[in-house]
Amino acid sequence: MKNDNTKIKYFIYPRKSSEQEDRQVASIDSQIRELDDVAKKDKLSVVATLEESHSAKHPGRPIFNKMIEKIEKGEANALLVWNASRISRNSIDTGKIIYLFDIEKLVEVRTPSQVFRNTPNDKFLLNLFCSQAKLENDNKGEDVKRGLRARLQAGVFPGRGPIGYMSDKYTERGAKKNLVDPERFDTVRRMFDLMLTGNYTVVEIFRIVTKEWKFKTRQGTPIGRSTLYKIFSNPFYYGSFEYPMGSGDWIKGNYKPMITEEEYDQIQYLLGRKGRPRPKNHIFDFPGMMKCGECKGTIVIEEKWKHQNNGNVHHYVYYHCSKRITPTCSQGSIEVTELKKQINKKIEELQIPPEFQTYAMKWFRQENEKEAGSRNAVLKTQQAGYTLCLKKIDGYMDMRAAQLIGDDEYNAKMAPLKKEKAQLEELLGDTGDRINRWLSVADEMLAFVKDAVGKFNNGSIAIRKGILSALGQNLLLKDRILQIDLEKSLFPMKTISAEVSKIHKRLEPRKTVVKQKDYERLYDKNPLMQPQGESNPCYVNENHVS
């Protein structure tokens, strides 16, 4: 039934913001012209035109909120908008519109091509269109983030480079680079050369650059003194940049550096910034692996350089609480060499003779055979469920092709089946891959423990991180002491190591040759080395070291 327009009072609501979402949207003036034409053509009673220049991505638009208040007071009971996306791109404001329908304060939302009234189907469609606008907006945000990550991975600075560099305007999006500014690159390099002589202060160089060289930026303005300080202290010029600023994440740039890192270091020394935080252009040993034992804050890593009068430079790496959770945390810092000494001492407490490794692997393999049988049964059940799910999907596809069910029913039936199919595929892959994984990890674990000290001191950073991770989880640093609970590491390695040591001491005085079976007989008698109810009583960290 057609509504009586004479009883409906409309607010015209045109909206456009400067956000990326609205780049292709008609201007407010053109929206008003089109909506006025609709009002005249359909003889609509318009109370007021409420223009909005804010994004609908988040709730809190001032004009929108005033409009809602006016509708609640009965000043109008309908909206005339250019498109449903003009109303809302967030769930809160969409909900307000739907609720006004529910309490009968709003009877109609009209666009030039469609009318939404207070019926279940119309409210569902309006909600759907606004939600679709939100989805498109969210997807654009993800696309922007994805593009930003791609640029960072390619070593491209996501923005305008500093003086001496310029943006790549003509290369297609996704392949842009930081380009050398041919008019200024060499001149900025001469600024660095003056500073590196040690004969000029920044103030003197500033006078030369502005008064004698008449240097101008790309905007045609003289360079400022503070800008010159920023140039001399910007790591971008030697090939690294931090993004986002203050995050501690440093990127190696894919562009022509202006100076070397050594020259940058020398300039920082000349500027008197001996303790200045430096770019983390190498990988530290144990980032993110420890918490503060006092406030449970993150342990961060800081580099420092000590410049002596004789020209020697000493480099130090410190681990300390970030104090972000508790600014008054009293914990100090510990130098990385002392930290490694403590870890070495913990590792030395663990000794696994080759005889015990042979015994342990026999037990692991026996348990693996039992475990594989039960996991294969689970795998068989999962495969049966997957086959049934595919059969149901094929059935609904056939019914839709034969037009036995409509699109709405088809989509309603297929949605949970598609989700179930994805879950079963993940379970199938996971069950199949894990059948022998823990056995392999156990073997490698026992092997590396035999020479853990040597591997920790001489291995790569990845090996050191893996060994520390295997020693224990939830590592705490308090009073410059690293707390590692060996009772909960790997399997009870500390306890087993102690028991194995006792067994070997009992057999050492014997003059006869000690055979493997002699050790295994005593291992079997020790209750601490027997499984406690589970087929796999030991925790094996899959981030192991091979």
Integer Rg of the chain from CA: 35
Dump pLDDT digits (tens) for 13-52: 988 775 555 555 568 888 888 889 989 998 999 999 998 8
- Domain closes at, from 315, 336, 357: 336
Are 139 and 183 in the same domain? no
Residue 344 and residue 457 in contact, taking contact as beta carbons nearer than 8 Å? yes
Q: Is 252 helix (H, G, I), strand (E, B) or coil?
A: strand
Q: Is 185 helix (H, G, I), strand (E, B) or coil?
A: helix
pLDDT band at 304 (very low <50, low <70, confident <90, very high): confident
Are 480 and 371 in the same domain? yes
Are 539 and 422 in the same domain? yes
Phi-psi region of 347 (alpha: psi -120 to 50; beta: other; left: phi over 0): alpha
In a domain, 235, yes or no: yes
> How many angstroms separate the first and last alpha carbons of the chain?
75
Residue 280 and residue 181 in contact, taking contact as beta carbons nearer than 8 Å? no
Dump pLDDT digits (tens) for 355-380: 555 655 665 566 566 556 656 666 67
Are 542 and 500 in the same domain? yes
Percent of the chain exceeding pLDDT 70 equals 66
Residue 468 and residue 475 in contact, taking contact as beta carbons nearer than 8 Å? yes
In a domain, 444, yes or no: yes
Are 464 and 360 in the same domain? yes
Are 420 and 517 in the same domain? yes
In a domain, 160, yes or no: no
Are 306 and 242 in the same domain? no
Dump pLDDT digits (tens) for 46-90: 999 998 887 777 788 889 999 999 999 999 999 999 888 888 878
**What's the pLDDT at 25?**
57
**500: nearest Cα among 524, 533, 535:** 524
In a domain, 459, yes or no: yes
> What CATH number has the domain bearing residue 80?
3.40.50.1390
pLDDT band at 513 (very low <50, low <70, confident <90, very high): very low
pLDDT band at 539 (very low <50, low <70, confident <90, very high): very low
In a domain, 156, yes or no: no
pLDDT at 392 over 90: no
**What's the pLDDT at 537?**
37
**279: nearest Cα among 297, 298, 257, 295:** 257
pLDDT, averaged across the chain: 75
Are 134 and 212 in the same domain? no
Are 184 and 116 in the same domain? no
Q: What span, in angstroms and rounded, lies between the C-alpha atoms of 457 and 468? A: 12
pLDDT at 208 over 90: yes
Are 401 and 536 in the same domain? yes
Cβ-based neighbour number of residue 218 at 10 Å? 13
In a domain, 531, yes or no: yes
Lowest-pLDDT range, 61-65, 281-285, 326-330, 500-504? 500-504
Higher pLDDT, 4 or 194: 194
Are 298 and 394 in the same domain? no
What value does the mean pLDDT take over residues 276-280? 44
Q: What span, in angstroms and rounded, lies between the C-alpha atoms of 364 and 371? A: 10
What value does the mean pLDDT take over residues 479-502? 61
pLDDT band at 512 (very low <50, low <70, confident <90, very high): very low
Q: What span, in angstroms and rounded, lies between the C-alpha atoms of 232 and 227? A: 9
Six token digits for residue 308: 């002596």
**What's the pLDDT at 506?**
55
In a domain, 285, yes or no: no
**What's the pLDDT at 159?**
72
Q: What are phi and psi of 79, to 5 degrees?
A: -120, 140
Lowest-pLDDT range, 68-72, 496-500, 510-514? 510-514
Dump pLDDT digits (tens) for 415-466: 888 888 877 776 666 555 555 555 555 555 555 555 666 777 777 776 777 7
Q: What span, in angstroms and rounded, lies between the C-alpha atoms of 185 and 79? A: 57
**What's the pLDDT at 447?**
57
Cβ-based neighbour number of residue 506 at 10 Å? 10
Count of domains observed in the chain: 4
In a domain, 515, yes or no: yes
Q: What span, in angstroms and rounded, lies between the C-alpha atoms of 11 and 51? A: 10
**What's the pLDDT at 503?**
56
**What's the pLDDT at 517?**
63
- Domain closes at, from 118, 149, 180: 149
Dump pLDDT digits (tens) for 184-204: 999 999 999 888 887 788 899
What value does the mean pLDDT take over residues 89-96? 85
Residue 86 and residue 14 in contact, taking contact as beta carbons nearer than 8 Å? yes
Dump pLDDT digits (tens) for 139-168: 665 656 666 666 677 777 777 788 998 877
**What's the pLDDT at 329?**
92
Are 385 and 512 in the same domain? yes
Q: What span, in angstroms and rounded, lies between the C-alpha atoms of 198 and 204? A: 12
Q: What are phi and psi of 54, to 5 degrees?
A: -120, 155
> What CATH number has the domain bearing residue 257?
3.90.1750.20
- Its domain, for residue 454, covers 337-546
- Domain closes at, from 98, 114, 149: 149
Maximum alpha-carbon separation in the chain: 113
**What's the pLDDT at 232?**
92
